[in-house]
Structure 1
Amino acid sequence: MDTVVKILENIVVLANAMSFYILIGLLIAGILKQLIPDDFIASHLGESKSGSVIKATLLGIPMPVCSCSVIPLAKSLQKEGASKGAVQSFLISTPITGVDSILATYSFFGWFFTLYRVVTSVFIAIITGILQNLIESKERVKAEGSGSCSGCCCESHTAEEKKGFSTTEALRYAYVTLFGDIYKALFIGLLFGGLFTTLLPKEILEPLFEYPLLTYFAVLLIAMPLYVCATASLPIAAALMLSGMSGGAAFVFLSAGPATNTVTMGVVAQMFGKKALMLYLGTIASFSILFGYLFDTFFSTLEVLTITTEVENFGLLDTLSTLIMFGLIGYYFIKGRR
């Protein structure tokens, strides 16, 4: 019984640390959705050049899309004529650099780690997209040289009439559409975070944590198939760090996980083929480990994890935000069963 109580307490601790930032992040995402035209990104990503990759990455930063809902948007970009590299860059950068993910990362790990995560994710996304487009260009040249015909279909897209700003629609998108996409993964992330914080014996994990490179690969093997949103993965990473894992290993988990879950792997393979999937996974894995290593090498002395493990140290705003967040989670679970 004491163990169950401790698990619940740790879940509340993790929720208190992030709930306010998630709710605010979702609100900002809803506002951005009203301000950014629906066809804004799709109209800029058609060329198979480095420019389209950089655009896809940078334009994906303000997009209010989580790793759970980025997949259908990526498919729509492909249908609009976006290059392979641009779509893959969008898949990598958008969930991690979303406003809700940025604020939630800050709530656990502070501004430096958050900035490091965003900048490196943008870099990984751009490199992956450029490599994909280079390979695609070479394959196209070979195909043309062998006599095959590759046609270009340039469709004319009529600009949609700009809609007026709607507060109701902004709130609906934030707390119905977006939260409805992530509530299960968020709950699972908090549950696993509470379990890891309570039950993971530090004495068993410490030998592994003494070998950073081995830890990176172990974390990578766990993170890549795990279907957890960029935001929902944060309490798990925080729990692992509370158990003694390094900031670099936490970075590997947070960098590789959101863009490489089993669902995304299947979609990338279906959309672009197995060769593109191997490039996609290999680039993300390699650079995640590299940047994790660099973080531990040069910034290991920084105080990264900013959450407190004492429930009573949280304020009224944190508690109220947690109640609202769990209320929404409960509502969607009940609604989903009907």
Structure 2
Amino acid sequence: MILDILKETLGVALTAAPWLLLGLLAAGAVKALMPETVLQRWLGGSGLAATARAAMIGAPLPLCSCGAIPTALALHRGGAGRGPTTAFLIGTPGVGVDSLAISYALLGPLMAVTRALGAIVTAITTGLLVGRTRAESHAPDTTEVAPDNGGGCCGTDDRCTPPTTPDRLPARLAAGLHYAFRDVLDDIRLWLVIGLLVAGALLTLVPPATLAAWGSGLPAMLMMAIIGIPMYLCATAATPIAVGLIAAGVSPGTVLVFLLAAPITSLATLGVFRRELGTPALILYLTGIAVTTIALGLALDAGLARTGVDVATQMGTAGELLPAWLEWTALSVLVVLATPILRGPLNRLMPRPNPGST
């Protein structure tokens, strides 16, 4: 039985590895080419246009929930409105170029597109709700925020705050690659392994009829939202679990609620959000996430029932286009880069960039 679980886990890992590697490369490029000063200029103001812009700008950025906290607070204290700040805080961890690539590889094009659009819609809707609240009379706490390591993905405080980006393009690209393949990969590696093992166990042990009986409809989606909102599971690591859930009989709409609710917030995010924007804003924040993700899940299931599209048949089809040697090579590279002992000799080839260098 254990061998069967490991076999299924390896199969999912091989399918995902090339796309995750590609996604990390894209994440490094995004990090290098989109400095925080540009974000502050684009996210100023409030209203629908600014909120939508914040959601769409934040979506491709390679920041997890805890990594988005200091960036969002810096934007808010630099002049961004409450709505755009909320939209950025939701859209950024909800989906990124790395998680979008692995979603395409494991879940198929329909779920990948639906997940990306769902994260943006959730960010805009919730941002508009929070934007209707007003700042409390007292000044917000301007002390440095260090998210709780137990509630997020950050392993150390210095990784929670994105590093300062150098001025020259080669140095920025080097810093972006370091951020993607050291900081981001270090943050997600444990959760990614857990997600792959859970997916392997679900694919091996859970018959489709077991979860299919309760894996759809409003009660199941509400349960997914209740479970997903306070927990932390990064968008990339949540994807293989979603594969196992769909294979076990859970409806795609219910899985979409899990994919949207689990990565976009955590207990650490909730605490910081309440301290910065107040309790009324937190209530609307939670309400917007829960209502929007459930509505999107119901809409997806209804659309699939009407069109007859079977999401399960699309899962893993991207991996069939790639040769086995490429999958094994990508997985080997990721294992080396994610293991400090194995990647030690690479330190001379990819040293940590000096943020002050030009």
Global fold match (TM > 0.5)? yes
Does the alignment pair 1:321 with 2:327? no
Aligned-residue Cα RMSD (Å) equals 2.9
Whether contact under 8 Å (2:19, 2:105) holds in the other structure is: yes
Match for residue 218 of structure 1 among 195, 220, 223: 223
1:325 partner amino acid: L
Whether contact under 8 Å (2:51, 2:84) holds in the other structure is: yes
**Deviation >4 Å, runs of 4+:** 311-314, 332-335
Match for residue 157 of structure 1?
none
2:266 partner amino acid: N
The CA distance in 2 between the partners of 1:171 and 1:48, in whole Å, is: 33
Match for residue 301 of structure 2?
296
Match for residue 17 of structure 2?
19
The CA distance in 2 between the partners of 1:33 and 1:245, in whole Å, is: 35
The CA distance in 2 between the partners of 1:161 and 1:321, in whole Å, is: 29
Whether contact under 8 Å (2:106, 2:316) holds in the other structure is: no
1:317 partner amino acid: L
Match for residue 181 of structure 1?
187
Q: CA deviation at 1:203?
A: 4.2
Residue aligned with 1:100, SS: helix
The CA distance in 2 between the partners of 1:161 and 1:54, in whole Å, is: 29
From the superposition, tell whether residues 118 and 203 of structure 1 become closer, same or farther in structure 2 (CA, over 3 Å): closer
The CA distance in 1 between the partners of 2:139 and 2:90, in whole Å, is: 31
Match for residue 154 of structure 1?
none
Q: CA deviation at 1:201?
A: 4.4
Match for residue 192 of structure 1?
198
The CA distance in 1 between the partners of 2:273 and 2:285, in whole Å, is: 8
Whether contact under 8 Å (2:212, 2:251) holds in the other structure is: no
The CA distance in 2 between the partners of 1:161 and 1:228, in whole Å, is: 30
From the superposition, tell whether residues 270 and 190 of structure 1 become closer, same or farther in structure 2 (CA, over 3 Å): farther
Match for residue 155 of structure 1?
none
1:63 partner amino acid: L
Match for residue 42 of structure 2 among 27, 41, 44: 44
Match for residue 169 of structure 1?
175
The CA distance in 2 between the partners of 1:104 and 1:275, in whole Å, is: 36
Identity among equivalent positions (%) equals 32
From the superposition, tell whether residues 44 and 18 of structure 1 become closer, same or farther in structure 2 (CA, over 3 Å): same
Match for residue 207 of structure 1?
213
Match for residue 150 of structure 2?
none
TM-score (norm 2): 0.79
Alpha-carbon deviations, 1:64-90, whole Å to 9, x = none?
Answer: 323342222222223323222111101
The CA distance in 2 between the partners of 1:259 and 1:30, in whole Å, is: 20
Match for residue 241 of structure 1?
246
Structure 2, unpaired ranges of 5+: 141-164, 345-358
Does the alignment pair 1:57 with 2:55? yes
Does the alignment pair 1:72 with 2:78? no
From the superposition, tell whether residues 334 and 266 of structure 1 become closer, same or farther in structure 2 (CA, over 3 Å): farther
Residue aligned with 2:119, SS: helix
The CA distance in 2 between the partners of 1:39 and 1:163, in whole Å, is: 15
Match for residue 280 of structure 2 among 246, 271, 275: 275
The CA distance in 1 between the partners of 2:130 and 2:66, in whole Å, is: 23
Alpha-carbon deviations, 1:83-129, whole Å to 9, x = none?
Answer: 22111101111123321121111112222222222122212211211
The CA distance in 1 between the partners of 2:15 and 2:254, in whole Å, is: 21
The CA distance in 2 between the partners of 1:57 and 1:128, in whole Å, is: 10
Q: CA deviation at 1:132?
A: 1.3
The CA distance in 1 between the partners of 2:209 and 2:301, in whole Å, is: 21
The CA distance in 1 between the partners of 2:95 and 2:241, in whole Å, is: 19
1:329 partner amino acid: A
Equivalent positions of 1:245-264 (< 5 A) are 245-264=250-269
Q: Which moved more, 1:190-199 or 1:243-252?
A: 190-199
Equivalent positions of 1:142-153 (< 5 A) are none
Residue aligned with 2:259, SS: helix
1:25 partner amino acid: G
2:235 partner amino acid: A
Match for residue 34 of structure 1?
32
Match for residue 128 of structure 1?
126
1:43 partner amino acid: R
Residue aligned with 1:40, SS: helix
The CA distance in 1 between the partners of 2:5 and 2:139, in whole Å, is: 61
Whether contact under 8 Å (1:11, 1:191) holds in the other structure is: yes
From the superposition, tell whether residues 308 and 24 of structure 1 become closer, same or farther in structure 2 (CA, over 3 Å): closer
2:82 partner amino acid: K
Whether contact under 8 Å (2:20, 2:101) holds in the other structure is: yes
From the superposition, tell whether residues 57 and 44 of structure 1 become closer, same or farther in structure 2 (CA, over 3 Å): same
Which structure would you say has the larger Rg?
1
Q: CA deviation at 1:23?
A: 0.9
Whether contact under 8 Å (2:208, 2:247) holds in the other structure is: no
From the superposition, tell whether residues 304 and 202 of structure 1 become closer, same or farther in structure 2 (CA, over 3 Å): closer
Whether contact under 8 Å (1:69, 1:181) holds in the other structure is: no
The CA distance in 2 between the partners of 1:303 and 1:332, in whole Å, is: 43
Q: CA deviation at 1:26?
A: 0.8
Residue aligned with 2:168, SS: coil
The CA distance in 1 between the partners of 2:46 and 2:300, in whole Å, is: 33
